[in-house]
Amino acid sequence: MTSGGGIQIPSRLPLLLTHEGVLLPGSTVRFSVDSPRNMHLVSQRLLKGTSLKSTIIGVIPNTRDPERDSDDCTSEHRVDKTYFVCYLLFNTIHSVHTLSHLLFLSSCRIGTAGIAVQVVGSNWPKPHYTLLITGLCRFSVSSLLKERPFVLAEVKQLDKLEQYTTPAREGVTAEDGELGELSQKFYQAAVQLLGMLDMSVPVVAKFRRLLDSLPRETLPDVVASMIRTSNKEKLQVLDAVSLEERFKKALPMLTRQIEGLKLLQKTRKMSPDHENRVLSVRKGGVFPGRQFSLEEEDEDDDGDDTAAIERKVHGANMPEAALRICLKELKRLKKMPQSMPEYALTRNYLDLMVELPWSKSTKDCLDIRAARTLLDNDHYAMDKLKRRVLEYLAVRQLKTSLKGPILCFVGPPGVGKTSVGRSIARTLGREFHRIALGGVCDQSDIRGHRRTYVGSMPGRIINGLKTVGVNNPVFLLDEVDKLGKSLQGDPAAALLEVLDPEQNHSFTDHYLNVAFDLSQVLFIATANTTATIPPALLDRMEVLQVPGYTQEEKVEIAHRHLIPNQLEQHGLTPQQLQIPQESTQDIISRYTREAGVRSLERKIGAICRAVAVKVAEGHKVTKRDASTPEDSAQQGKSQSSLCICVLLCWDGGLTLYRQWMVSGKLLLVASQILSVYHLHARLSLCYMFSD
């Protein structure tokens, strides 16, 4: 690469045809490669090469900014670009490639020789490579040598590579006539632009040192690659082989940016409390390939302005320990570039910290009479649960600093445990959030993942607090008796700290890694049985048994809540369907035998659907038997000669019928039952013989 004339690039270069931007000497740009020719260039030249020479390629730009480039470009470029598009389209359709066409394509092009400093491959969403290329110098295409598998051309170097290693004092000076005057004017304009940018003092000093260290002849390329300008203007700078012409092309671009900043400063009042920065430049200097914008800061205030995050951190009113951690993470965020993967992780962490309700809470409604009325309207019976809620409200009136109780509603399915929790939240005037724990077998669902893991996130408790936006909601831990256990830990053990009033004031989520106060949260757990709840967890909760409903209670619930809801859901009016209490009792006793009212609601829904069909067809609805009762066969056995004993089930579930035959003094039991049932059988036998 060296000769008597100085440092030289290889005379034969593979060409990278790109439409993503213009690579100027001295700048670094990322290019995405997915076309067949460019893919072959990367795989066969860059990845298989073992020398520095193999990493040098030629970049031929073919791009236009549709919004900013007009049709007033030179005829040479217009013919070249039009032919380039037609050529690629023609070859894509007909797969015809000729060297003469490529020769015509490249004869009027000037490209940039660059060195590939990084190659990254990916298969999503389709196979492609991402190249990080640093521009070295200009070249022109002399002839094309081959087109497959990638384009290889004979090139002629137009710039001197020594200019990037020459000290600034040895480059163009003011004594060089018109060129020297242009160089000095361009340098002064660049310094003026740098002083107008709203950046910190260390960043400005670093840019100034960079500006002073560069040779003057490199300034047009470097500055044109940094400021926002159209691709057409960058192509004009690239095509300017003469240094004097290059200064003339780049100086108006720089002057336009200065005039725009002056106008912006006149029309906008800059306030220290509300920073509307003009240019987003991070600490650490200019990043290769980043095109700095003089207009994009206001468009992306949350994306680049760390000052906005800092204001949110100070306005979140978080505890001192959490504030100290946030300020530490914010300091790290300011120092790292946006391209780092850890930047997004830190930004997401800070966003979560400022969105958590550290001190925001809702005011409780402590009117006991209104609470009693609301609970009675929402639910029939359940006197024990209602009394416990009213007791909590009464104590809160006397002592406002009362910690939230940990309640556990235990009862059969369908008795309204979940709906009672929602009614309690409405009674207290608090936000309600339900967390389904059925089948959860990972303790990270409760306590979150540590931030060192990929895809880490906070646990359900912290996520729930972020969702409701207050620190005193009502959390319903549904199906707490159905928690699992796996190699990822025991979620029931993770709930010990959450459901302990003596510890949950400093609950620490693994993702946050800072204590959060859960003492104001009202936790309500639901379960069907306490047999599967670990004793340590059960000991931390106040268990309230929710028994099944009696037949009279089911009838009242059906006429108060179920029938009106089903009529509304099916578009019927009370005049179109009336279900008397006797019919409701028949449905309960002959069609549904359960502790709750879910099956009863489904049967009422079936009646509403049948009536809806009749109403839609215009038929008159009459009273008739819908179907045979499901237990009619079992009821019919009562007419046989067998002695049938009805056993009362403690859980309010199905009524158990036990049958046996008596022959002399021998007692034959028809099912496998406990010894206590044998006593019932013998008592029934004595009663039968006494008649």
Q: In this structure, are strands 656-663 and 6-7 parallel, antiparallel, or unpaired?
A: unpaired
For the chain, what percent of residues have pLDDT higher than 90? Answer: 42
User: Which of 79-88, 114-123, 358-367 has the lowest average pLDDT?
Assistant: 79-88
User: Which of 45-54, 142-151, 621-630 has the lowest average pLDDT?
Assistant: 621-630
Mean pLDDT, residues 137-157: 91
Among 687, 683, 676, 686, which Cα is nearest to 649's? 676
- Please check whether residue 352 is in contact with residue 466, taking contact to mean a CB–CB distance below 8 angstroms: yes
Q: Is the pLDDT of residue 604 over 70?
A: yes
- Tell me what pLDDT residue 556 has: 93
* 341 annotated as belonging to a binding site for a ligand: no
Number of H helices, E strands in the chain: 25, 18
* 418 annotated as belonging to a binding site for a ligand: yes
Q: In this structure, are strands 406-410 and 522-527 parallel, antiparallel, or unpaired?
A: parallel
- Tell me what pLDDT residue 232 has: 87
Among 381, 421, 358, 353, which Cα is nearest to 596's? 381
* 413 annotated as belonging to a binding site for a ligand: yes
Beta bridge partners of 435: 477
Q: DSSP 3-state assignment of 504?
A: helix
Give the H/E segment covering residue 497.
helix 491-498
- Tell me what pLDDT residue 512 has: 92
- Going by pLDDT thresholds of 50, 70 and 90, the confidence category of residue 594 is confident
Q: How many CB atoms lie within 10 A of CB 221?
A: 28
Q: Is the pLDDT of residue 447 over 80?
A: yes
Q: How far apart are CA 118 and CA 121, in angstroms?
A: 10
- Tell me what pLDDT residue 686 has: 72
Task: Tell which wins on pLDDT, 639 or 166.
Answer: 166
Q: What does each C-alpha distance from 236 to 106, 224, 278 come to in angstroms?
A: 16, 11, 26
Mean pLDDT, residues 364-380: 89
* 412 annotated as belonging to a binding site for a ligand: yes
Q: Is the pLDDT of residue 685 over 50?
A: yes
Q: What does each C-alpha distance from 189 to 29, 163, 195, 207, 258 come to in angstroms?
A: 24, 21, 10, 14, 8
Task: Tell which wins on pLDDT, 435 or 622.
Answer: 435
Q: Is the pLDDT of residue 670 over 80?
A: no
* 414 annotated as belonging to a binding site for a ligand: yes
- Please check whether residue 138 is in contact with residue 217, taking contact to mean a CB–CB distance below 8 angstroms: no
- Tell me what pLDDT residue 318 has: 93
Mean pLDDT, residues 203-227: 86
Q: Where are the beta strands (DSSP E) in 274-419?
A: 406-410
Q: How far apart are CA 106 and CA 112, in angstroms?
A: 13
Q: Report the Cα–Cα distance between both ends of the chain, in Å, rounded.
A: 122
Per residue in 647-660, pLDDT (tens digit) is 555 544 455 555 54
- Tell me what pLDDT residue 668 has: 61
- Tell me what pLDDT residue 620 has: 72
For the ranges 355-364, 662-671, 678-687, the maximum mean pLDDT occurs at: 355-364
* 415 annotated as belonging to a binding site for a ligand: yes
652 Cβ contact partners less than 8 Å away, ≥ 6 residues apart: 412, 547, 548, 549, 595
Q: Is the pLDDT of residue 302 over 60?
A: no
- Tell me what pLDDT residue 167 has: 56
- Going by pLDDT thresholds of 50, 70 and 90, the confidence category of residue 21 is confident
This prediction's pTM: 0.54
- Tell me what pLDDT residue 176 has: 64
Q: How far apart are CA 470 and CA 433, in angstroms?
A: 11
Mean pLDDT, residues 362-375: 90
Among 311, 281, 308, which Cα is nearest to 296's? 281
Instruction: Share the mean pLDDT of the chain.
Output: 80
Q: How many CB atoms lie within 10 A of CB 303?
A: 12
Half-sphere exposure of 290 (CA within 13 A, CB side): 16
Mean pLDDT, residues 197-209: 81
Q: Is the pLDDT of residue 418 over 60?
A: yes
- Going by pLDDT thresholds of 50, 70 and 90, the confidence category of residue 337 is confident
User: Which of 106-115, 227-236, 408-417, 485-494 has the lowest average pLDDT?
Assistant: 106-115
Q: Two tokens at 469?
A: 């936006």
- AA identity, residue 670: A
Q: Is the pLDDT of residue 369 over 70?
A: yes
Q: Is the pLDDT of residue 288 over 70?
A: no
Q: Is the pLDDT of residue 91 over 90?
A: no
207 Cβ contact partners less than 8 Å away, ≥ 6 residues apart: 194, 199, 281, 285, 286
